[in-house]
Amino acid sequence: MRDVSAEFLETVRGSHQMAAQAIVCTTYQDGVEPDGTTVPILAGDVVVDGTAEVRSTLDLTVDGTAMWPAAVDSLLAPYGNEIYIRRGIQYGNGSVEWVGLGYFRIEAPEQDNIPNGPIQLTGSDRMAAVVDGRLLAPRQYLSSTTCGEAVADLIGDLYPAATIEWDDSTASEALGRTIAIEEDRYGGLSDIITSRGKIFYWDHRGYLVIRDVPDPSDVVFDIDHGRGGVLVSMKRKLDRRGIHNAVVAIGESTDDGTPVRGTALDNNPDSPTYFYGRFGQVPRFYTSPLIVTVAQALNAAQSMLRKETGLPYTVNFGMIANPALEPYDAVRIRRRDVHTIDTLTVPLVASQAMTGTTRQQAATLLGAL
């Protein structure tokens, strides 16, 4: 969960005045206080999906009076300008505590009623540029190249001023094997990071964050109903599709090295997805030339399994908006069931509830073979 004050978390549970802001940036910036032009928000939302390549997307409607991008350098033209979005709470003293939702590249302006009707804008976070930015020629990284150097090189072509934030010393580890990335910049980046058992995304500050999967038992917020509650609506379903109870990570050797293998599995007999239980054995396989030791293979396998840990029991909910929540946050639903957030839709107007989907956490022990 993004850092907010205790007052914010308390106020969001009661009657309060929300605030939302869209700032168009014509230069590359990061941080939570960018310089730019504020445009009035008529409607919109930010969708955050922890399972998607592009984690955050924007759907925004703004006042279109004399704003249609008729020239290349127009404010809302889709040629590189970004929109910084934030939502917050305005307190009684007039101050606003903001929660950033990220920087979004303008993708497609649309206007149904010309010349001054509202303009609908779609946007994507900075990962969209990484997905789009395929390499023009193969790129080789020697085995002595560190993970941090390889990531910085792949990102630096697109965003020379990018802030890349690792949560530990993994950036200083050598790749351990010489690799070549043919065309797929995003795929190469993902392989480097995933093989180290980490996830990555552009966060609300515009930083590329590389981190471990959050602890699914560390509950950060209660989504409950009744007095002081935030739960507005809820529906649920059981669906085992897409659930794995084991991950096998394999080091695919591109030289004379011996391939290594690490296996993580749900090894708790009391878990409903116990690997040797009635749920059945449903392994997932991941192969990477960057896995060169058994320890790396096991770390990657455990990390990938941790992302999928949970019952095939999903909840769709509507709640009073708390924009500080993020995918992979653990929340308690109705004061008893612990779930992990998969997706969130954060509205930018007060009349709409925030919606999301979750997976219920199971009592799982990550065993290893």
Tens digit of pLDDT for each residue in 47-66? Answer: 999 999 999 999 999 999 99
pLDDT value for 259: 85
CB 143 within 8 A of CB 175: yes
- Outline where DSSP puts E strands in 64-170: 82-90, 96-111, 119-124, 139-141, 164-166
pLDDT value, residue 254 = 60
- Domain 134-211 is found in CATH 3.55.50.10: yes
Using pLDDT thresholds of 50, 70 and 90, give the confidence band for residue 306. Answer: confident
Please give the share of the chain, as a percent, with pLDDT higher than 90: 83
Coil/strand/helix, residue 330: strand
CB 275 within 8 A of CB 245: yes
Instruction: State how far the alpha carbon of 67 is from the alpha carbons of 72, 74, 85, 274, 306, in Å.
Output: 13, 8, 18, 57, 46
Domain boundaries, the chain: 6-130, 134-211, 219-368
Taking the C-alpha atoms of residue 369 and residue 166, their distance in angstroms, rounded to an integer, is 29
Question: CATH topology of 6-130 equal to that of 134-211?
Answer: no
* Separation between Cα atoms, residue 58 and residue 76, nearest integer Å: 14
The residue whose two tokens read 């504020």 is: 38
In this structure, what token pair is assigned to residue 95?
């101050």
- pLDDT average, residue stretch 289-316: 88
> Which CATH number among 2.70.98, 3.30.2310, 3.30.70, 2.40.10 corresponds to the domain 6-130?
2.40.10
Picking from 130, 110, 127, 126, the residue whose alpha carbon sits closest to that of residue 118 is: 110
pLDDT digits 0-9 by tens, 242-288: 889 999 999 986 656 678 999 999 998 888 889 999 999 999 999 99
Only one residue has tokens 């653990």, namely: 330
Burial of 48 (0-12, 13-18, 19+ CB in 10 A): buried
Q: Which of 331, 334, 336, 335 is CA-nearest to residue 357?
A: 331
Put simply, whether the predicted model's pTM sits higher than 0.85 gets the answer yes
Count of beta carbons in the 10 Å neighbourhood of residue 254: 12
- C-alpha 55/C-alpha 37 separation (Å) is 25
φ and ψ of 90, to 5 deg: -95, 120
